[in-house]
């Protein structure tokens, strides 16, 4: 004959005798009790959470039940003759429920500021956002060694020997061409190597002062001081010195000469006594 389980109508304590053979205090901790229907005031407030259970109540089969919970005031029921007890899963305590809220990972409004804080992406300084795709190398950073005393001196020498007679804008323009070559993968990747490229070839180097057969002696201290100060400032990433009219130019020549390579390049501007050019394809072409 199946054993009938009686539902407890109220959470009143159940007094057990020694004859019960059951630790009621222990069992009641694990026994899930639920009301068959919510009170009237709960029904009138459907948004109020009554209980919060981690799992759905366990359904006990008659064969698995080994005890009967009596309904007061009837005397306690006797144990069924079986040696196996299957406890019910306890529901959460009848206390005020706790609501935990999690933002969706797709919530852009929440994710954006979070990503901005933890982002490990390197911030790139854009020198010219309007540069064309073929000359995008213009926005490449200078190598780490560019700020060394040796590299600054090489840039100052290019300014001094190539443009010390020019106004400041003309001197900055020459320096910008040097740095453009450092950034361009076609040329060497240090300032000194760019300035003195092919210096061992008479009248066939990149900057004429380096292979014209004349000694590179500094005879004008004031002009040298100006060249050195400009070199430090330009290498220091001072965007205020960037000349958009020079842009990605990698070549220039004096106004009184006409090299054969000029016809193969795009003329950009004339500043002082120098005419500046950039390549069509970004490299040599």
Per residue in 217-226, pLDDT (tens digit) is 999 999 999 9
Residue 254 has pLDDT above 60, yes or no: yes
CB 166 within 8 A of CB 273: yes
Q: What is the number of other CB atoms lying within 10 angstroms of the CB of residue 25?
A: 10
> What is residue 53's predicted lDDT score, i.e. its pLDDT?
45
Nearest-angstrom CA–CA distance, 175 and 231: 7
Nearest-angstrom CA–CA distance, 285 and 134: 11
Phi, psi (5° rounding) for residue 256? -90, 5
Nearest-angstrom CA–CA distance, 134 and 282: 5
Nearest-angstrom CA–CA distance, 197 and 200: 8
Which pTM value belongs to this model? 0.57
When mean pLDDT is compared across 24-38, 100-114, 162-176, the lowest value belongs to: 100-114
Q: Which helix (H) or strand (E) holds 162?
A: helix 149-163
Q: Is the peptide bond before 73 cis (omega within 30 degrees of 0)?
A: yes
In 3D space, the residue among 163, 166, 251, 153 whose CA is nearest the CA of residue 209 turns out to be 163
Residue 109 has pLDDT above 50, yes or no: no
Percentage of residues of the chain with pLDDT beyond 90: 49
**Between residues 83 and 273, the one the model is more confident about:** 273
Nearest-angstrom CA–CA distance, 181 and 189: 8
């Amino acid at each position: 004959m199946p054993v009938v389980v009686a539902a407890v109508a109220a959470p009143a304590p159940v007094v057990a005798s020694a004859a019960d053979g059951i630790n009621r205090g222990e069992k009641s901790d694990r026994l899930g009790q639920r009301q068959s229907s919510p009170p009237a005031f709960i029904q009138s407030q459907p948004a109020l959470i009554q209980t919060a259970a981690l799992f759905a109540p366990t359904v006990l089969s008659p064969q698995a039940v080994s005890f009967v919970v009596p309904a007061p005031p009837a005397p306690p029921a006797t144990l069924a003759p079986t040696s196996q007890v299957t406890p019910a899963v306890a529901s959460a305590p009848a206390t005020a429920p706790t609501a935990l809220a999690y933002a969706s990972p797709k919530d852009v409004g929440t994710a954006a500021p979070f990503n901005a804080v933890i982002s490990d992406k390197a911030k790139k300084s854009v020198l010219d956002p309007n540069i064309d795709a073929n000359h995008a190398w213009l926005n490449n950073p200078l190598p780490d060694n560019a700020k060394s005393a040796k590299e600054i001196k090489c840039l100052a020498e290019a300014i001094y020997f190539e443009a010390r007679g020019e106004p400041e804008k003309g001197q900055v323009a020459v320096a910008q061409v040097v740095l453009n070559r450092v950034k361009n993968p076609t040329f060497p990747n240090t300032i000194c190597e760019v300035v003195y490229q092919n210096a061992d070839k008479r009248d066939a180097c990149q900057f004429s002062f380096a292979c014209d057969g004349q000694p590179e002696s500094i005879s004008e201290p004031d002009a040298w001081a100006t060249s050195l100060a400009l070199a430090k400032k330009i290498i220091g990433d001072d965007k205020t010195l960037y000349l958009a009219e020079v842009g990605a130019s990698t070549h220039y020549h004096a106004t009184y000469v006409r090299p054969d390579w000029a016809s193969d390049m795009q003329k950009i501007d004339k500043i002082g006594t120098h005419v500046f050019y950039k390549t069509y394809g970004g490299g040599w072409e």
